[in-house]
Amino acid sequence: MAAIASVSRIRAAVILLLFTLLQSLYLLAFASTNVHIVYMGERAYDEPELVQDLHHGILSDVLGSKEAAKTSILYSYKHGFSGFAAVLTHSQAKLIAGYHGVVRVVPNRILSLHTTRSWDFLKVKPQMVDGILSKSHSGIGSIIGVMDTGIWPESESFKDEGMDEVPSHWNGICQEGEMFNQSNCNRKLIGARWYIKGYEAEYGKLNTSDEVEFLSPRDAVGHGTHTSSTAAGALVKNANSIGLAQGLARGGAPLARIAMYKVCWATGGCSSADLLAAFDDAISDGVDVISVSLGSPPPLPSYVDDALAIGSFHAIARGISVVCSGGNAGPYPQTVINTAPWILDVAASTIDRAFPTVITLGNNQTLVGQAFYTRKKASEFQPIVPGDEIAAADADEDSARSCDLGTLNPTLARGKVVLCFQSRSQRSATIAGISVRNALGSGVIFAQSPTKDVTYPRGIPSVFVDLTVGTSILNYIESSRAPMVKFNHTKTTIGQQIAPEVAYFSSRGPSSLSPSVLKPDIAAPGVNILASWSPASSLESPGNNQNKLPPLNFKLESGTSMACPHISGVVALLRAVHPTWSPAAIKSALVTTASVTDEYGQSIIAEGAPHKKADPFDYGAGHVNPNKAMDPGLVYDANVADYIRFLCSLGYNNTAISLMTKIRTSCHASTKFLMNLNLPSITIPELKHKVTVSRTVTNVGPVNSVYRSLIEAPAGSFVTIEPSILSFNSTTKKQKFKVTFISQLRVQGRYSFGYLIWEDGVHVVRIPLIVRTVIHYSYSDT
């Protein structure tokens, strides 16, 4: 039994998704943990030293001596909240769980990681006089804390030319380490720290013989450099990736500051004990926004067992916005992660930049794919062969057809372009590219369901086609005696592709943990995003040491990892415009102004299903619209007390919640508040007959305003609102209303979608309504 359990644990760890699609290949975590996080909620004392003494006291008591406690403890969390991480046996952990003041003892978990054009596409442009960039002074004064793989400080995106003094609310440090010292921080990169104790307690000392890595905030992977420069990179002229997507690169908030918290390591994943230490520091360092492009796949831990949910709860309580990526496990339902209601959870969308590439077959037929083929001249004709025709002796045909790793025979592949088709188990063009490259092929054509994502393997010409084009090529190969193909070089086009669409890989709702909280919240660009990269990255060429690829300073990447820092950048801008707004108000402003149509007024489409109109489980309330978010009219605000009532209604124990927040609560488990949390969305996962929920809106627009309601009821339900008109004046700033849903179905329903809009003639405040009717048992026995 033990063996089976550990095999399934390994499998669970292996499917952890790095949020950048490319990197999911290389970070495999095999965790069997003895590190535990002892979470004790809000601090009992203001002085960090006293909080730490308390931790040492408990640990000494359980372990029998002060010395044992000293060697066992990894972190004392004492700034933003109270708790510690320590190496404990199972029975010691159980013992500690019974101690006064302990909320939860949680085993360490291993998490994984999940621009130029994108900001113009979002109309975050310096030229717009009334735009959010000018109104926020490019986010000056905001500090974005990024928890990721570190940062490459020499990147041009992190130059501090023309930047003012560091904001006075900053308390952080520039922590030294391998190839990183104080002089690597400046007025742009104002802080940097690194956390490895949890990781090393799990895996032993970091072994850098296979991967380049630095024991410091320096980024050896590229992911953290990419996300930071997307959120707040300075202007870089003529940025490009091997000549494509050339243009001015800049982050969303080009004058905001960056603080890097390195919690993820090139050799595999990120430890939750390290992540929680980063939250503890970031809260007291004075960041305004925390950007986290990582997580672990379902089953989702409960909110009090999840380091990211706990850390972000305490951050929100101090007024810090927390933005997370929703995961790359789409297009399947219930795959979305980072679903706590106080988090801003981001889906990925496409932009209007495309990379069309002409493919010419030996019979002179031309077809169009997408590629990053950057040779100056068109290629010569080369032989082309399908992967399954050149399978290695021990490979099965299906794996070879998708060009899975090690399935191709190098003697047969040498010098040929290989045609590969995605399969159920092998959907990655990058894997196909590496596999063909290892088999000494000269190029790869990867046929897959339509997608705009063309994240590419380096070191081999690769063209992406849809299954129709792939099938035409296959038919040509089969009907030709000496099938040949050549590629024309890739062009970069802008504005010739309908966008946005929700990316196929973007994880979908509903939340598997609490379906009454809509997740994801919003979509932002996350496909083929150009941003800075770490030139030290060796991830591109595993087993390819014989021909090292040249270092990259900029790179196109796809993933919800890339979407998340777009929202973090916008939040930094919004906070500069509205410094007094709560994280919930900022989130509401983004959500209620999000777009559900593209520039041509057409509904946004979700990739992954044939021409499916995107729904809230694909993109939350819609696609981010930064300029509109500055002036939302009304906001659905919420504070810590609201989140506590939400936790109460989930059945968390009173004592636990009191400790978590240091606020005396006497909550009783009632499912009512689950749906009454003042979110900018209403989700009724089980509508039987009739449910009434309430919401409160706060006027942040003109003092004297009158809003009228407009409802599109989800199919199968009847919806009423009371009152249907809301008036605001100098004394009435908040108004409460009730929405009643009545089921009209007598069958087990599916989720259906509608919306509620408040309109005053200027502002359109829109929230999604999501309902699933379930059977009325009273009707059933006839």
* Chain residues that interact with ligand NAG, rule: CB under 6 A: 181-183, 207, 209-210, 358, 360, 363-364, 366, 378, 488, 653, 655-656, 727, 729-732
CB–CB of 513/683 below 8 Å?
no
Q: How many CA atoms lie within 13 A of 253 on its CB side?
A: 34
Q: Nearer to ligand NAG by C-beta: 422 or 462?
A: 462
Q: What angle do CA 713, 715, 718 make, to 5 degrees?
A: 50
Cα–Cα distances (Å) from 5 to 8, 33, 205, 381, in that order, read 5, 14, 26, 53
CB–CB of 452/607 below 8 Å?
yes
Distance CA 445, CA 107 (A): 44
End-to-end CA distance of the chain, in Å?
47
Q: Which helix (H) or strand (E) holds 105?
A: strand 104-107
Q: Nearer to ligand NAG by C-beta: 213 or 607?
A: 213
Q: How far is the CB of 369 from ligand NAG (least distance, A)?
A: 12
CB–CB of 115/530 below 8 Å?
yes
Closest of 549, 519, 520 to residue 536, by C-alpha: 549
Q: How far is CA 562 from the centre of its chain?
A: 7
Q: What angle do CA 683, 599, 519 make, to 5 degrees?
A: 20
CB atoms within 10 A of CB 475: 10
Q: How far is the CB of 180 from ligand NAG (least distance, A)?
A: 8
Q: How far is the CB of 229 from ligand NAG (least distance, A)?
A: 20
Record the tokens describing residue 262, joined without a space: 């390195």
Q: Nearer to ligand NAG by C-beta: 546 or 730?
A: 730
Per residue in 658-668, is it b (16+ CB within 10 Å) or e — as a string?
A: bbbbeeebebe
Q: Nearer to ligand NAG by C-beta: 47 or 210?
A: 210
Q: Nearer to ligand NAG by C-beta: 128 or 378?
A: 378
Q: How far is the CB of 317 from ligand NAG (least distance, A)?
A: 20
Q: Provide the 3-class DSSP secondary structure of residue 501.
A: strand
Q: Nearer to ligand NAG by C-beta: 123 or 187?
A: 187
Q: Nearer to ligand NAG by C-beta: 309 or 408?
A: 309
Q: Nearer to ligand NAG by C-beta: 602 or 732?
A: 732
Q: Nearer to ligand NAG by C-beta: 368 or 774?
A: 368
Q: Looking at 649-724, which runs of residues are DSSP E strands?
A: 682-687, 690-699, 705-712, 717-722
Annotated catalytic residues are 148, 223, 561
Q: Which helix (H) or strand (E) holds 648?
A: helix 640-649
Q: How far is the CB of 98 from ligand NAG (least distance, A)?
A: 7
| Contacts of 431 by beta carbon, 8 Å cutoff, 6+ apart | 25, 403, 404, 405
Q: Nearer to ligand NAG by C-beta: 210 or 722?
A: 210
Strand 751-759 relative to strand 764-773, pairing: antiparallel
List of long-range contacts for 663-666, beta carbons under 8 Å, 24+ apart? none
Q: How far is the CB of 307 from ligand NAG (least distance, A)?
A: 18
Distance CA 149, CA 224 (A): 5
Record the tokens describing residue 84, joined without a space: 């510690």
Q: Using CA atoms in the order 247, 248, 253, 259, what is the torsion angle rounded to 10 degrees? A: 90
Distance CA 42, CA 302 (A): 18
Residue matched to tokens 């088999």? 439
Burial class (CB in 10 A: 0-12, 13-18, 19+), 136: buried
Q: How far is the CB of 625 from ligand NAG (least distance, A)?
A: 31
Q: How far is the CB of 357 from ligand NAG (least distance, A)?
A: 9
Q: How far is the CB of 728 from ligand NAG (least distance, A)?
A: 8
Provide the residue type at 460 as one letter.
I
DSSP secondary structure letter of residue 777: G
Q: How far is the CB of 363 from ligand NAG (least distance, A)?
A: 5
Q: How far is the CB of 610 from ligand NAG (least distance, A)?
A: 28
Residue matched to tokens 């007959």? 689
Question: What DSSP assignment string belongs to 6-31?
Answer: HHHHHHHHHT---SSGGGGGT-----
Q: How far is the CB of 189 from ligand NAG (least distance, A)?
A: 14
Q: How far is the CB of 224 from ligand NAG (least distance, A)?
A: 19
DSSP secondary structure letter of residue 644: H
Q: Provide the 3-class DSSP secondary structure of residue 329.
A: coil
Q: Nearer to ligand NAG by C-beta: 97 or 412?
A: 97
Q: Nearer to ligand NAG by C-beta: 19 or 77?
A: 77
CB–CB of 374/244 below 8 Å?
yes
Question: What DSSP assignment string belongs to 130-171?
Answer: TSHHHHTGGGTT-EEEEEES-B-TTSGGG--TT--SPPTT--
Distance CA 104, CA 189 (A): 35
Q: Nearer to ligand NAG by C-beta: 145 or 443?
A: 443
Peptide bond into 520 cis (omega under 30): yes
